[in-house]
Chain A
Amino acid sequence: GAGVSQSPSNKVTEKGKDVELRCDPISGHTALYWYRQSLGQGLEFLIYFQGNSAPDKSGLPSDRFSAERTGGSVSTLTIQRTQQEDSAVYLCASSFEGSYEQYFGPGTRLTVT
């Protein structure tokens, strides 16, 4: 079956612009996670969704970052007023609720110039 998909695969934006990153989880997976992979910091957790609600937003680095999920499926991560330090690969993962096995998408590489 289809895996986790993310779009766009690459995004180059100018400092100060807003960007939206999209994640389509595996059908039937109610848990959805966003992570960030950057050279200096490794892989960091950003936010967790259970259905459409986000009980854990503890990894969001600033109030410029927000995310939503609709219909228990697609999720969008929005970064406002992008900064150069936001440059990273943003990864989405999904799983069945309560399962320890997360399936990762290919990521979106964001470059802020």
Chain B
Amino acid sequence: GDSVTQMEGPVTLSEEACLTINCTYTATGYPSLFWYVQYPGEGLQLLLKATKADDKGSNKGFEATYRKETTSFHLEKGSVQVSDSAVYFCALSDRSGYSTLTFGKGTMLLVSP
């Protein structure tokens, strides 16, 4: 079945550092890929998405590129802020007519001033 593997956290960074959170996936078809974010005490929010190979999703300074050849969708940001501290989930949805999400286990990001 489908699966998503992402790096374990926590990832601890200083403000303005560069961020990369690795995500790789296994799927039988051509899934859509997502990053969701969960801020402390809040629900899951969609951060960005990409629906086909070589698409780049971007939002709030975060980017991720759908790499079919490496089955990856790494999350990157050039300069993190304290307010980016959250848990980040990589997820995929296969094209089966509806969009059940398969999630990675989540990566906690802690940014210090």
Contact = CB atoms under 8 A, between A and B. Distances in A.
Interface of A: 4, 31, 33, 35, 42-45, 48, 50, 55-56, 91, 93, 95, 97-107
A28 B93 CA distance: 21
A48 B103 contact: no
Contact of A42 (B46, B93, B104): B104
Nearest to A45: B100
B99 A42 contact: no
B51 A42 contact: no
Contacts of B103: 35, 42-44
A4 B103 CA distance: 20
Interface of A (DSSP majority class): strand
Interface residues of B, number: 23
Secondary structure at chain B's binding surface: helix, strand, loop or mixed? strand
Interface in B34-63: 34, 36, 42-46, 49, 51
Interface centre among A45, A91, A100, A105 (most CB of B within 10 A): A100
A17 to B, nearest CB: 26
Q: Which of A91, A93, A98, A102 has the most CB of B within 10 A?
A: A102
B106 to A, nearest CB: 6
Contacts of B98: 31, 48, 50, 55-56, 97-98
18 contacts: A4-B43, A33-B100, A35-B101, A35-B103, A43-B89, A45-B101, A48-B100, A91-B43, A91-B44, A98-B98, A100-B93, A101-B46, A102-B99, A103-B46, A104-B36, A104-B45, A106-B42, A106-B43
Contacts of A35: 101, 103
B97 to A, nearest CB: 8
Contacts of A33: 100-101
A33 B103 CA distance: 14
Top 5 A-B pairs, shortest CB-CB distance: A43-B103, A42-B105, A104-B44, A106-B43, A104-B43
Interface string B79-102: 000000000010101000111111
